[in-house]
Amino acid sequence: MADVVEFGSDKPPWRPSRRLMIVAGLLLAGAGAIGAVMAALDDRGGPGPIAASEAAPPAGRATSEAAPPAGPPCVPVGWGQTPVVADPPAGLVVEQATGRPSGLVRCDRAAADGPWTVVVRRPDGTLGRHGAVVTFPVSAPKGGRAVEVGKVAGRAEQGTVSWPVARAYARIRGDLPESALTAIAARTTVVHNRPVVDPPAGYVVVASGPYRSPAVHEARYDTAEVGEQAALDNGLVYTGIAGGGGFEDQLYAVHARDGGRVAGRPAVVSPVYGGNATLAWEPAPGMVAYVGYSGATLDDAAAAALGRLAERSRVLNAAGWQAIDQQTADQPNEPG
């Protein structure tokens, strides 16, 4: 019996022609062949489809090449520093080591969005000596004595003055007299969310830049590889190059001791960027070089060992640093 159509066209039902069915069959066969080719390419490492289970590695499974974090790129050591240094130092290695160092780039991709610093010193000032660091913005002070900073009320503690400016707070920290700290603070303005200091007579601006170094380049050794196992115990020795604003600010916040001279420049021993301790000096304005260790408790023998390692160290430029095997770790480069 013929099908009965209750509604619709009065024409008989449409059925595909024999020719159309043959064409459809050929198309289906072609699709199958394409699928086989793609599968074969995938087996050979070609651009085959990725299963959902393989789109991201399960937790705990390592990948041969991790995707870089989203956000701004990792910039060179010294980025944002003024004055600009021609062919700036990019790494530091210990000469006469028995093994090759492993390089580590500590990358802080958000450093430029954080606080900025201005380093101010007396003409005879050096790293962490006879100077101060202005930082903006900082948290509001929680204590201290009331002091006048220009026409505003600030708060002072030992070696530190904080005051309101540009709808936030700034801080100056150093080993200068409090009268000098407040005088420098009163001559500080904020331009494009960064501090600018017009220093009073008798003081000079040495450098300015991000508080946190956007990149820190470290080379690492075993203490035995550098011949200082007796003084530093079984542990790690590392050398580094970093931006200096936050580093110097922290030198004024902690107990630092004289470190002699390295390459003719005064050095300081402190826990900044420690480990147990670092010995640091200034290879260029606004930058620091340091040798640190993690092992024995800091004593005179350990400090002397750091001095010997610093004297054996050699500063690398960008090309020299790139020649070292290295890896990158994303982290905030807080110097404290």
List, for residues 186-206, the tens digit of each pLDDT value. Answer: 999 999 999 999 999 999 999
Per-residue pLDDT averaged across 2-6, rounded?
35
**In percent, how much of the chain has pLDDT > 70?**
79
List, for residues 297-319, the tens digit of each pLDDT value. Answer: 999 999 999 999 999 999 999 99
Residue 52 pLDDT > 50? no
Residue 67 pLDDT > 90? no
Per-residue pLDDT averaged across 103-120, rounded?
97
Query: pTM for the complete prediction?
Result: 0.79
Whose structure tokens read 């010294």? 78
Which pLDDT band, with edges at 50, 70 and 90, does 255 fall under? confident
Residue 155 phi/psi, 5-degree rounding, is -130, 140
- The 8-class DSSP code of residue 141 comes to P
Q: What's the confidence (pLDDT) of residue 9?
A: 37
Per-residue pLDDT averaged across 318-333, rounded?
95
How many helices (H) and strands (E) would you count in the chain? 6, 19
Note if the bond before 266 is cis, omega within 30 degrees: no
CA-CA distance, 26 to 2, in Å (whole number)? 32
Whose structure tokens read 């074969």? 40
> For residue 112, which amino acid is it?
A
Higher pLDDT residue, 267 or 26? 267
CA-CA distance, 199 to 189, in Å (whole number)? 11
**In percent, how much of the chain has pLDDT > 90?**
74
Give the start-end residues of each E strand in the chain: 91-94, 102-107, 116-126, 129-138, 145-149, 152-157, 160-165, 168-174, 188-191, 194-197, 204-210, 215-222, 236-243, 257-262, 265-270, 277-284, 287-294, 313-316, 326-330
Which pLDDT band, with edges at 50, 70 and 90, does 70 fall under? low
